[in-house]
Structure 1
């Protein structure tokens, strides 16, 4: 049974409202005033719980996007018990699905340079941003390098950029051109992992 909106805690109602608006009208058109109105509370109440709209966006991405938590868990996990290639394939799968969900919400920002600047500053204010996924994968690969599981001259940062860049590009093509121009994720993820692994093992 669904919980009535008014009986849900205010932070949850604000997160529900932010998710609904960001997914339907886009991040650029979603204001804190609109989020508060949708949640049935004041804008002042929103700022009691969240620093800014960008924090709500990050929370929606990381808590309401199905593959965000599995992706971060995969990046943090110690993969000593299985092959690096298998770990990279799992990361590529979750990253591909995560970006496929995130790209449409964020895309509207790029239509307005001033809004993009405000968004960038807001994200920096709360100490996060899309680079955290890249940094986590770089750290994960650096640990593998220290274990001797990568070739000595492998560059963890470049390898992370290659893997995640491919996943992001797949999401862009998926939305821009349609599913017929991309591999199904269950084929794409192991193929990207296999190709990257051939270069750094």
Structure 2
């Protein structure tokens, strides 16, 4: 029974991801999702309390591989270079954009999806928190200046990534190949924009 329930949830999530990508959020109704998954609409509500719950599950599925990778990012402090680690991190995060942004926009604009989820306990940290922890770890071993705020730097890096993601049709076929601007941006942030001293 449990295996069948898991299979049904997987089909519902797969259908949700596919429909949002192919026809957009507005047309992705619970009826359309159930039909695409090959189940009755009532079955959807046996597995998810509402559309918001199903969308949250779809986002979790999409972000899980990157979140798992980012969880180990702080342990990379002291290895490779700070620039290489940040370029790797931002490039991996860039691969999520095409899949995640439609869901995030829906969560921001739909009142049903925008209301806070009723979840028990504290939510697990995501990539922004792990990036902050990584920067702090690098700071502790002297590879980042002591006066730098790791949390604010993480925000700047992620905001820069969002800016580089315009136009929205840009994709990443292979890590790094389609995103040379990420390396440029990371080096700019790490090097700063101060003019060289004149003698």
Tell me what 2:196 maps to. Answer: none
1:67-82 map, 5 Å: 69-70=65-66, 72-77=68-73, 78-79=75-76, 80-82=78-80
Counterpart of 1:174 (choices 167, 176, 180) is 167
1:37 aligns with 2:31: no
Deviations 1:100-123, CA, capped at 9 Å, x for gaps: 43234544666xx4x1x322215x
Tell me what 2:134 maps to. Answer: 140
Root-mean-square deviation (CA), in Å? 3.2
Deviations 1:117-146, CA, capped at 9 Å, x for gaps: 322215x334769x9332232222223223
C-alpha distance 188-58 of structure 1, shift in aligned 2 (>3 A): farther
Q: What secondary structure is seen at the aligned counterpart in 2 of 1:125?
A: coil
Greater helix content: 1
C-alpha distance 89-27 of structure 1, shift in aligned 2 (>3 A): same
Counterpart of 2:113 (choices 116, 119, 144) is 119
**Contact residue 20 and residue 102 of structure 2 kept, 8 A:** no
For normalisation by structure 2, the TM-score amounts to: 0.72
Q: Unmatched 5+ residue regions in structure 1?
A: 1-5
Counterpart of 2:8 (choices 10, 30, 33) is 10
Q: Unmatched 5+ residue regions in structure 2?
A: 172-176, 193-199
Tell me what 2:184 maps to. Answer: 191
For normalisation by structure 1, the TM-score amounts to: 0.71
Tell me what 1:3 maps to. Answer: none
Larger radius of gyration: 2
Counterpart of 1:28 (choices 12, 16, 26) is 26
State the shift of 1:71 in Å: 5.9
**Contact residue 15 and residue 60 of structure 1 kept, 8 A:** yes
Aligned residues: 180
